């Protein structure tokens, strides 16, 4: 018995020694960084689900801001870099993009094991990413987006009517949920030529499948993520699937049905589905590739936009001055004589754009962006050269940069006017690398322009028709959910709405 105990103890010690021996990586190279602890490195709260990952990164950021342009830290046993200065962030994401071509998360996905997400441009690498992104980029031209707006207007009417119908119940609105109903209906119409019926059914199938598609809080997903974070080499011998099989099957079938119906009906409609059908003929795309492109658009347009709308409405509800000023401008500048939104003015409206970007400054949908070094490069770090080796991951803490008092006066306050023209507008902050709600460089969010369009339209329609206030059910101060990879707050965002007569 003692022999077995000694053997087990020896093996545990050897494992501990092997695992922690990597913790000297940055020290040996003369780079500053917090001291890691076994077994979770510098992000223990994230792994133990005590709080969201972004707060552990923010602790590191706050400790080293103003000291160095970047630091080394550990996620479990994996060494990574955290960009502290916006200059380094811009270098990684824009200037030296060829050296940081891929994102680390793409290693988690495989086309065979996960046919839907494995074909998403977000999950692709190298030349394959470039080719797939080039296939879908033309779908987001100004002309094509303009042609989609009538579909958005149809859903806006349903959105408004739904709120009117629910108001007499005298219950607070879960603003993220009703925003998701809106975006689900919009993207389902644009991609699958389908009415998702989000405002009429209790649990519409497309909405439920969309929810499963982006559910990164499931125990199965989290276990896989923790395993791959602690033992990344496992991914070389076994490929996990992050998309449930029933979800993959549903969206593949939905795309096949949509294409069949469109081709048989001979209907001419300049939507995303028409573009995919044209692409299929040019490139001889397989059904699975069609479905993957459709799901890429769906996830970009459904989840991120619904969160952007929810946060915008929350901040507007929370600031009566902004709400009254914006409503006045809507009625005077953004609505035509027929009561319709003026599309061109909506996209160019200065104050609406300021509200949008100030909201996503405070509440970026992704709190951190990741880039993997694909070609070795050397950076200066306070007068010393530091070689970033191929395979090293660099995280850009957008959440922390957006709230840094060196770049924003009273950074936790909602102040759209900080982007006034005399301050250089939104463009000035983007150019300095301190405002990146959609990322930056060649891998900037593919659906950014569509998200802008539908989000702005939804906010205009709600603010012009309803007075908004924050319900006490909203837990403040807002805190990002512990398990989430995107910026979803604990307890939800709850608003009271009153119809404007």
Residue spans of the domains in the chain: they are 85-499
Beta carbons of 48 and 1 less than 8 angstroms apart: no
pLDDT given for residue 47 in this prediction: 81
Tell me what pLDDT residue 227 has.
65
Predicted local distance difference test score (pLDDT) of residue 485 = 82
- Determine if residue 445 is labeled as part of a ligand binding site: yes
**DSSP character string of 348-411:** H-HHHHHHHHHHHHHS-SSS-EEEE-SS-EEEEETTEEEEE-TT-EEEE-HHHHHT-TTTSSST
Tens-digit pLDDT string for the chain (501 aa) = 677 777 777 777 787 777 888 899 999 999 999 999 988 899 998 888 889 999 999 999 999 999 999 999 999 888 999 999 999 999 999 999 999 999 887 777 777 777 777 787 777 788 888 888 888 888 888 888 999 999 999 999 999 999 999 999 999 999 999 999 999 999 888 888 888 899 998 888 888 888 777 665 455 555 666 666 666 666 666 666 667 788 888 888 888 888 888 888 877 777 888 888 888 888 888 888 888 888 888 877 788 899 999 999 999 999 999 999 999 999 999 999 999 999 999 999 999 999 999 999 999 999 999 999 999 999 998 888 999 999 999 999 999 999 999 999 999 999 999 999 998 999 999 999 999 999 899 888 878 889 999 999 999 999 999 999 999 999 999 999 988 888 999 999 999 999 997
CA gap 187, 293 in Å, rounded: 13
Q: Are the beta carbons of 116 and 291 closer than 8 angstroms?
A: yes
Separation of alpha carbons 245 and 21, rounded Å: 39
| Strand blocks (E) in 40-85 | 70-75, 78-83
CA pair distance 413, 105, nearest whole angstrom = 32
What's the sign of the alpha-carbon dihedral 54, 59, 63, 65? positive
State the CATH architecture for 85-499: Orthogonal Bundle (1.10)
pLDDT at res. 290? 83
């Amino acid at each position: 018995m003692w022999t077995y105990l000694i053997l087990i103890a020896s093996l545990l010690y050897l494992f501990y020694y092997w695992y922690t021996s990597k913790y000297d990586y940055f020290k040996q190279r003369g780079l500053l960084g917090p001291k890691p602890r076994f077994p979770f490195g510098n992000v223990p709260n994230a792994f133990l689900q005590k709080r969201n990952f972004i707060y552990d990164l923010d602790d590191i950021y706050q400790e080293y801001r103003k000291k160095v342009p970047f630091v080394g830290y550990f996620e479990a046993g994996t060494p990574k870099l955290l960009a502290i200065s916006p200059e380094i962030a811009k270098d990684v994401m824009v200037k030296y993009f060829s050296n940081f071509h891929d994102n680390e998360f793409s290693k988690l996905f495989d086309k065979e094991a996960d046919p839907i997400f494995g074909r998403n441009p977000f999950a692709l690498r190298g030349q394959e990413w470039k080719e797939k992104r080039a296939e879908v980029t033309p779908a987001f031209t100004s002309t094509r987006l303009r042609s989609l707006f009538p579909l958005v207007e149809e859903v806006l009417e349903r959105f408004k009517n739904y709120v009117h119908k629910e108001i007499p119940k005298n219950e607070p609105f879960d603003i993220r949920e009703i925003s998701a109903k809106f975006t689900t209906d919009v993207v389902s119409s644009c991609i699958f030529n389908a009415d998702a019926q989000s405002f009429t059914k209790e649990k519409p199938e497309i909405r439920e499948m969309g929810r499963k598609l982006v559910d990164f809080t499931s125990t199965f997903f989290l276990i896989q993520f923790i395993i791959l974070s602690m033992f990344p080499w496992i991914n070389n011998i076994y490929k996990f699937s992050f998309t449930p099989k029933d979800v993959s099957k549903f969206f593949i079938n939905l795309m096949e049905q949509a294409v069949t119906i469109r081709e048989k009906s001979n209907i001419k409609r300049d939507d995303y589905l028409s573009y995919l059908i044209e692409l299929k003929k040019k490139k001889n795309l397989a059904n699975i590739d069609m479905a993957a492109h459709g799901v890429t658009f769906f996830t970009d347009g459904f989840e991120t936009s619904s969160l952007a709308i929810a946060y915008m409405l929350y901040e507007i509800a929370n600031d009566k001055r902004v709400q009254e000023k914006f409503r006045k401008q809507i009625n005077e500048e953004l609505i035509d004589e027929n009561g319709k939104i003026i599309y061109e003015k909506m996209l160019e409206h200065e104050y609406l754009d300021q509200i949008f970007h100030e909201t996503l400054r405070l509440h970026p949908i992704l709190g951190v962006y990741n880039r993997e070094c694909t070609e070795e490069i050397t950076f200066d770090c306070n007068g010393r050269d530091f070689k970033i080796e191929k395979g090293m991951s660099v995280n850009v803490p957008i959440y922390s940069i957006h709230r840094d008092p060196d770049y924003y006066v009273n950074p936790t306050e909602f102040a759209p006017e900080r982007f006034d023209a005399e301050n250089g507008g939104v463009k000035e902050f983007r150019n300095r690398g301190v405002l990146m709600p959609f990322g930056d460089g060649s891998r900037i969010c593919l659906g950014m322009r569509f998200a802008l369009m539908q989000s702005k339209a939804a906010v205009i329609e709600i603010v012009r028709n309803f007075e908004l206030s924050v319900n006490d059910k909203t837990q403040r101060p807002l805190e990002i959910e512990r398990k989430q990879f995107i910026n979803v707050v604990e307890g939800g965002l709850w608003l009271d709405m009153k119809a404007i007569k």
